[in-house]
């Protein structure tokens, strides 16, 4: 896949996602996830997961970053980076289906999945959600 942006943008997003993960509230899973989105206006917004004792009430780090961008007036998110800093293996973790569908809503084109060692891989959005729901 041909990346849309300079490698420095992706590296910055991964770094910001890892920093955001440090703020996660994850007392139940101990699985801290951070995310950083890059908008079509060249702004970056970050988010972390926030768990709740009533499990369905928690929110994913990817969604928090998206919500922050949209609440600040953004309309289009080009790239999202996701990092989990507490993974027990080197396996990369992908966003859940709900977060992927939310990404589709705001036009994400690329998804950057960071490994625990700060390496990352860039995926075209269609690779992570090939059949998103559309009206």
What does the H/E/C string look like for the chain? Answer: CCCCCCHHHHHHHHHHHHHHHCCCECCCCCCCEEEEEEECCCCEEEEECECCCCHHHCECHHHHHHHHHHHCCCCCEEEEEEEECCCCCCCCCCCCHHHHHHHHHCCCCEEEEECCCCCEEEEEHHHHCCCCCCC
Residues with active-site annotation: 62
């Amino acid at each position: 896949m041909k990346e849309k942006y300079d490698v420095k943008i992706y590296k910055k997003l991964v770094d910001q996602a890892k920093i955001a993960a440090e703020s996660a509230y994850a007392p139940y899973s101990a699985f801290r996830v951070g995310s950083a989105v890059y908008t079509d206006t060249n702004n970056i917004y970050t988010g972390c997961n926030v768990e709740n004792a009533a499990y369905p009430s928690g929110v994913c780090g990817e969604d928090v970053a998206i919500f922050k961008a949209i609440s600040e007036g953004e309309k289009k998110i080009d790239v999202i980076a996701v990092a989990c800093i507490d993974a027990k293996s080197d396996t990369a973790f992908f966003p859940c289906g709900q977060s992927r569908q939310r990404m589709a809503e705001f036009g994400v084109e690329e998804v950057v999945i960071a490994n625990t060692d700060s390496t990352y891989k860039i995926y075209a959005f269609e690779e992570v959600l090939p059949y998103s729901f559309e009206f």
